[in-house]
Amino acid sequence: MRIWIRQHVVAWSAVGRNLLRQGAEVYKATITATGASLVRLEKNFSFVLSPKAPYNFELTAKKPAGWDLFTPFEVFEEGTMWTALHVDGMLVGLKLKSTEETDSPRISVTAFLAREPDDKEETIKGILAEKLGVNDELSQFYGFARRDPILKHAVDDLYGMHDTLGGSVFDLAILTICLQMAPLKRSEQMMECLVSRYGRVAEFDGRRVAAWPVPSEISVVSIKELESRCKLGYRAKYVIQLAKILEGGAFPTLEDLARLPAEESKRRLMELPGIGDYSADIINPRAGFPIDAWSVDVFGKLFFGREPKNARDAIERVKKEGIRRWGRWSWMAFFYVAQDLENLSKKLNVKLRLQ
């Protein structure tokens, strides 16, 4: 997941953690009471991915800053991740585990489905490989980063961490809309309500993992219902409009957007209801330098040695400096710095706020 704004670091990860703390039985009751569909995924197939080295599975799947891979309800224990997402309309549960080291990586994957995969095996393998960044080459970025006084520390601390793609454009668009103009607690409540009332819960390998709803599950809901049930306010209109646009499958997927020039993919995203410049930067795969009123403090200190007096007024200046300094590597630089704030604070002797 490629999102770094204060609300996400604290909120979206917190949603999953809070629900997991309820325990299996309470979680089961919550699912039944709120209406999320429980889907038993009893068919499975296994395969192995061989990423380009270096590839650190734990850093890639479970980002240090708390970013989720595909859903805030996924579980990571003792080097194994259980998560869920939709592929071509199918709910897919995933069990992921690294079987080798960073410099000779292998990822063992078991995919769980409600029916026999038939001709979908290769589709699932291909999409997962792209989402996990297994074919992405880090050597050029690392060569650039090791000549930079800030990035040289981050790439040493996070050696082998790859960027990943989220579950879908719809997931990320919902997230950005729920985070707009809302206190942290309310953003949490809106996202949890959408997932628990309109999403699906994958049951597989002795686990239950809630996944984001698909557009067809939201497009039939009334604006009034979303406004009242999930307290979305004006956001309800945008979420339903998004669902109606995206359910047909004509809009590019995250994988499609990642293959477009960055400006073109951003332009396409800004055609969506409720998605402006900043939200598009957040969704846009492997592109952009999304600065907000919190991250401007961090990068203001890193670039200019001090926190801006007026954060909002400094956003454009800091964004331009990041792009000037890091150019084609702006997003990767942003991504690595975002995950390494604690270590960078110590190594550069500067206090970088974590939240």
Tens of pLDDT, residue by residue over 202-226, are 999 999 999 999 999 999 999 999 9
All residues at 6 or more sequence positions from 27 whose CB lies less than 8 Å from its CB, including other chains = 19, 20, 208
Average pLDDT over residues 240-256: 95
The pLDDT assigned to 179 comes to 83
Average pLDDT over residues 229-243: 96
Q: What is the mean pLDDT of residues 96-112?
A: 96
Flag whether pLDDT at 161 surpasses 50. yes
- Counting residues of the chain whose pLDDT is more than 90, the rounded percentage is 74
> Mean pLDDT highest for which of 6-15, 186-195, 238-247, 294-303?
238-247
Flag whether pLDDT at 19 surpasses 70. Answer: no
Which residue carries 């029916």 as its tokens? Answer: 115
pLDDT value, residue 5: 41
For residue 10, is pLDDT > 90?
Answer: no
The residue ranking higher by pLDDT, 18 or 128, is 128
Q: How far apart are CA 94 and CA 44, in angstroms?
A: 9
pLDDT surpasses 90 at 109: yes
What pLDDT is stored for residue 267 in this prediction?
96
Which superfamily does CATH assign the domain made up of 169-283 to?
A: Hypothetical protein; domain 2 (1.10.340.30)
SS3 175: helix
CA distances from 224 to 227, 246, 272 (A): 5, 20, 21
Give the Cα separation of 6 and 99 in Å (integer): 33
In this prediction, residue 309 has a pLDDT band, given cuts at 50, 70 and 90, of confident
Of 16-25, 27-36, 113-122, 218-227, give the lowest mean pLDDT range. 16-25
User: Hey, how many other C-beta atoms are within 10 angstroms of the C-beta on 162?
Assistant: 24
Q: Give the residue-averaged pLDDT of 322-327.
A: 96
User: Comparing 242 with 188, which gets the higher pLDDT?
Assistant: 242
Q: Where residue 28 falls among pLDDT bands split at 50, 70, 90? A: very low
The pLDDT confidence band at residue 80, using thresholds 50, 70 and 90, is: very high
Confidence at residue 2, expressed as pLDDT on a 0 to 100 scale: 42
State the Cα–Cα distance between residues 61 and 161, nearest whole angstrom: 9
b (16+ CB within 10 A) / e for 177-204:
bbbbebeeebbbbbbbbbbbbbbbbbbb
Other Cβ atoms within 10 Å of 50 Cβ, number: 14
Query: Looking at residue 151, what is its pLDDT?
Result: 98
Q: What is the mean pLDDT of the chain?
A: 89
Window from 161-170, 277-286, 330-339 with minimum mean pLDDT: 277-286
Dist. CA 168–CA 112, nearest whole Å: 19
| Confidence bin at 355 (pLDDT 50/70/90) | low
